[in-house]
Amino acid sequence: MLKVLIIDDEKDARAALEVLLHKFVKDVEVLGHGTGVKDGLKQIAALKPEVVFLDINMEDGTGFDLLDELEDFNFHLVFVTAFNQYAIKAFKYAAFDYLLKPVDLQELRKCVDRIRNENKDSNETRIKQLRESHKQGSNSKLTLPNLGGFDLVEIQDIIRCEGQKNYTTFHMRSGKKIVVSQTLKEYELLLEEHNFMRVFQSHLINLNCIQKYIKGRGGMLVMDDGSNIPVSRDKKDELLGKLKAQ
């Protein structure tokens, strides 16, 4: 039985999430509610939940403000928010679960299933990373979840990413390969602001790790790891423009 705490300053939002958890998600007990940052901190200390569903924007501060006040993270954290592009991107960098309001039942069930299989001890490192990136307004590291926990990698140590159906393989400068069960498209959206470009359907590359461009219909790239990556014809001009601008 998962012990859950809901922190949200909107009464209707708290009630709606509790109804979904109570009626439609098995083996979950809602211990109580927090109505904001200050009250949420009190409830976490008093109730010691296993899972905290945390709203981002509340009357007395944000979910990030609450995290800044915590020293111990002995719970799984799930953010619940109305659409906020920056916040969602930050969650993805740190591989945190999040739910958009109004909460979709199927997404909630998937989220709870992931929590049951997740190592709670990994939360502290990820929360610290998330807090730091939020303060700086930028992200230099990426959390890559795996069956045993997660890998925390420097983004500029990624040479290239290779997609295959619902999996993405990260090729690192060290020679290490990390396989993640998420699509290449998701990482394309995260990494494009870090000088990465999708040059072929299955290839996302770090433009800083190109050794050579070989002419052709689309062309071919030789990367720092010695790999040869094809360039699609419709990406050729965009790629050459970016390389000339560097």
Domain ranges of the chain: 2-136, 141-245
Check pLDDT > 70 for residue 137: no
The whole-chain average pLDDT of the chain stands at 89
pLDDT at 135: 62
3-class state of residue 245 by DSSP: helix
176: confidence class by pLDDT, cuts 50, 70, 90: very high
**Interval 41-45 mean pLDDT:** 97
Class of domain 2-136: alpha beta
**Interval 36-45 mean pLDDT:** 96
Could you tell me which residue, 74 or 135, shows the higher pLDDT?
74
Judge contact between 118 and 167, C-beta under 8 A: no
| Paired sense of beta strands 158-164 and 167-172, if any | antiparallel
Check pLDDT > 80 for residue 29: yes
Same fold, 2-136 and 141-245: no
136: confidence class by pLDDT, cuts 50, 70, 90: low
Check pLDDT > 90 for residue 174: yes
Q: pLDDT by residue (tens digit) across 119-133?
A: 666 666 777 767 766
pLDDT at 151: 87
Q: Is the dihedral of CA 155, 131, 183, 113 positive or negative?
A: positive
**Interval 141-163 mean pLDDT:** 88
**Interval 110-123 mean pLDDT:** 78
Architecture of domain 141-245: Beta Barrel (2.40)
Check pLDDT > 90 for residue 117: no
Cα(56)–Cα(10) distance, rounded to whole angstroms? Answer: 11
The predicted model scores a pTM of 0.70
Cα(141)–Cα(156) distance, rounded to whole angstroms? Answer: 8
**Interval 141-151 mean pLDDT:** 80
97: confidence class by pLDDT, cuts 50, 70, 90: confident
Check pLDDT > 80 for residue 211: yes
Check pLDDT > 80 for residue 118: no
92: confidence class by pLDDT, cuts 50, 70, 90: confident
